Structure 1
């Protein structure tokens, strides 16, 4: 099905130095800019930030709305920001392009609930609420919090905690949670089934859910654990790893 974008705000400017070949650009005039998409679009959203938090909220909506906390329309020296988008054989790519000081702004994005995302933050936290789709998120010196999410998930952090609260609709796709210096928290529905691995060098593994150990045990090079196990009847792979931190699994 062909996907049609409709521009909200009707602002498309050609400032040099911020271009993406074969992509259209929707430039910001104020703190908030919106890009409307056709219902049912297959969307991949990419966002990167430095020294700022990223929050994404899934809603029953037909557009992507981005708010930048530090954007000042009346500042002639402000740097530019644009929503860049392209379609390739029915697959839509949307990228937030921040230049200069706006790379350090806090970002709030409201999206359709069914969307895939690639989010990266340096010196900032990442939070995603109420989204169904593939998530690839990473933070350096920041926490990762994913709440009421469903889909394949890769969550990484350096010097930060990772917390994932799964939706009640079930665990159907692989999940990887890896942090170097932080804790790993997973909150699951009651009917949770997974084949898991848990590894920590300096920390503990605690689970409110019953599980069966299928291999491994205490880490021979530290005080942590390195085990394989099964929740319920087993299911998609779940990987939980930290070097300096503990792993917690809880039931809703």
Structure 2
């Protein structure tokens, strides 16, 4: 339960950090963008919060001990090497864009059914995602990446400077990832009940046995692109996996 108490809203909140770990928990509507600055910048995309004349001069607090110290509907706590971010409202909540410097690792976790698709744009640091219901959109990200969702789809593009390991897994949603055709990668593509599709421009050498026979399993394709290199794992249990050229 959240006690919603209105106030004048600041449109931005900044934390002077260019390294460390940003942990975003149960924030329903968020876009994370990489940039070349030295601060983590939180910006509201939803405009001013509803005015509540009765609450002027007061602040918003929640039953689980969070305080809105940003005027954006968020609690942001600096614990040194870790920045913890949570929203106060259980449902709905603010629409937030977070800009992160290149050296910041971003961790996003979400368990409720109330959130939107989580989007990452131009992020050059490590990304970790663990969700139940959210889809994940990746645009021009570098990695390393550890992305897991139960019910959501995962789609995106990785840039030419991609860094391993890359693990992108959905249980019920599809996984659709675009890579530059020049990438050197050792790939593992897996599905139990879906299908696997690969762009023909990827010259994939499938894994072979000692007798030079192509090795297949019932649910996994393993091979090398351009001689092998980065470890890339794309998997969906109940849906399709797509590997396409960028």
TM-score, scaled to structure 2: 0.77
Q: Does 1:241 align with 2:235?
A: yes
Aligned-residue offset at 1:98: 2.3
Q: Does 1:43 align with 2:20?
A: yes
Aligned-residue offset at 1:242: 0.8
User: In structure 2, how many angstroms separate the alpha carbons of the residues matched to 1:153 and 1:146?
Assistant: 10
Aligned to 1:217, what secondary structure does the other structure show? coil
**Aligned to 1:162, which of 154, 172, 179?**
154
Instruction: In structure 1, list runs of 5 or more residues that go unmatched.
Output: 1-27, 220-224
User: In structure 1, how many angstroms separate the alpha carbons of the residues matched to 2:147 and 2:196?
Assistant: 18
Contact 2:160 2:183 in 1 (8 A): no
What are the Cα deviations for residues 176-215 of structure 1, in whole angstroms up to 9, with x where unaligned?
Answer: 0110111111111121111111110111111111211116
User: In structure 1, how many angstroms separate the alpha carbons of the residues matched to 2:10 and 2:131?
Assistant: 24
What corresponds to 1:142 in structure 2?
134
Instruction: In structure 2, list runs of 5 or more residues that go unmatched.
Output: 1-6, 62-67, 69-73, 209-214
User: In structure 1, how many angstroms separate the alpha carbons of the residues matched to 2:120 and 2:84?
Assistant: 17
Aligned-residue offset at 1:73: 7.1
Higher-strand-fraction structure: 1
Q: Does 1:55 align with 2:31?
A: yes
The size of the alignment, in residue pairs, is: 212
Counterparts of 1:121-200 in structure 2, within 5 Å, are 121=110, 122-123=112-113, 124=115, 125-169=117-161, 171-200=162-191
Q: Does 1:72 align with 2:49?
A: yes
Aligned to 2:121, what secondary structure does the other structure show? strand
Contact 2:132 2:150 in 1 (8 A): yes
**Aligned to 2:88, which of 74, 99, 111?**
99
User: In structure 1, how many angstroms separate the alpha carbons of the residues matched to 2:10 and 2:172?
Assistant: 34
Aligned-residue offset at 1:151: 2.3
What corresponds to 2:4 in structure 1?
none
Higher relative contact order (CA 8 A, sep 6+): 2
